[in-house]
Structure 1
Amino acid sequence: MTGLDALYQELILDHSKRPHGKGLGDDAGRAATSHQRNPICGDEITLRVRLTDDGARVSEVTWEGAGCSISQASASMLASLVAEEGGMTRAEASVLIDGFREALRSRGGIALDEETFGDAAALSGVSKFTARVKCAMLAWVALEDALARA
């Protein structure tokens, strides 16, 4: 295992043990919720996205879930990334989701950029294991669905 692989593995374990955004809270205000389940392995995520009053920006992403360390870490990384620095616009979040999906479907051909994806770049290696791609994508699909509902 290379030093970078070891660092990435440590980031995934850290996020799964000490998750960001875990706990749904209430659904007051401008919020939408999505529940996603991976039928292959049983991982589940319920994600709530809260938007600013004008509906233009994501102000908070919270979630509850159960499953493997990859699905739980991915949800934690997503929650940190999307709501940081005043939150992303809906369009920025959609572009982020599309880029993540493209990289994870690339079978190792596209690495996630650390500047764009932050800690979630640690999930780049998952793309080489097709059985794990759905685990990593679960929260991202839930965010996409919640944004469409909001």
Structure 2
Amino acid sequence: MSFNNLDQLYRSVIMDHYKNPRNKGALDDTSVTIDMNNPTCGDRIHLTLLVEDGIVKDAKFDGEGCSISMSSASMMTQIIKGKKVEEANELAEIFSQMMLGEEYDDEKFDLGDVEALQGVAKFPARIKCATLSWKAMQKGVQE
């Protein structure tokens, strides 16, 4: 597949998550709630996590923001469900490395749709948009 076709595929995946977000909403009061925002661009996220016995049982988000921010939140909630807290943190570290254009270990986890965001690394101003939900998740699983 050519670079242009791959780039178009990634854009399609991002727009699909933006227009049809997965796990949008909030969990009940028994969950961990994290609110974060990116003051430079106005993105905000309200993330709720259900963590039991060290496993992320469920994750939902709500908020406002650009397509990068909201699609990243959608993808993140999908990939962390059912993962141990340590694995969710590892995924966040891998994602952070990907956003910085660094080499990352893609053999331990199937990143699935998350890989569509790797092009964001070319746009430093958008990295904070992509990482907002991941930082919220890391903060939440530490609580």
Decide: shared fold, TM above 0.5. Answer: yes
SS of match in other structure, 2:35: strand
**2:39 matches 1:39:** yes
**2:130 matches 1:129:** no
Any gaps of 5 or more consecutive residues in structure 1? none
Counterpart residue number, 1:51 = 51
- Shifted more, 123-132 versus 111-120: the winner is 111-120
After superposition, residues 40-79 of structure 1 pair within 5 angstroms as: 40-52=40-52, 54=53, 56-79=54-77
Call closer, same or farther: CA 1:2–1:121 in 2, change over 3 Å. Answer: same
Q: Report the alpha carbon displacement of residue 58 of structure 1 after superposing the two structures with TM.
A: 0.5
Q: Report the alpha carbon displacement of residue 47 of structure 1 after superposing the two structures with TM.
A: 0.5
Which one of 59, 72, 97 corresponds to residue 102 of structure 1? 97
Q: Report the alpha carbon displacement of residue 111 of structure 1 after superposing the two structures with TM.
A: 7.0
Which one of 22, 38, 41 corresponds to residue 24 of structure 2? 22
How does the TM-score come out when normalised to structure 2? Answer: 0.92
One-letter identity of the residue aligned with 1:137: T
Distance 2:104 2:12 in 1: 18
Distance 1:92 1:137 in 2: 17
Distance 1:38 1:10 in 2: 24
Structure 1 runs, 4 residues or longer, greater than 2 Å off: 109-116
SS of match in other structure, 1:2: helix
Distance 1:146 1:103 in 2: 21
SS of match in other structure, 1:116: coil
Call closer, same or farther: CA 1:25–1:82 in 2, change over 3 Å. Answer: same
User: Contact between 1:112 and 1:121, CA under 8 Å: does it hold in 2?
Assistant: no
Counterpart residue number, 1:12 = 14
Distance 1:110 1:69 in 2: 25
Any gaps of 5 or more consecutive residues in structure 2? none
Counterpart residue number, 1:92 = 87
Which one of 80, 83, 87 corresponds to residue 82 of structure 1? 80
How does the TM-score come out when normalised to structure 1? Answer: 0.87
Distance 1:138 1:65 in 2: 11
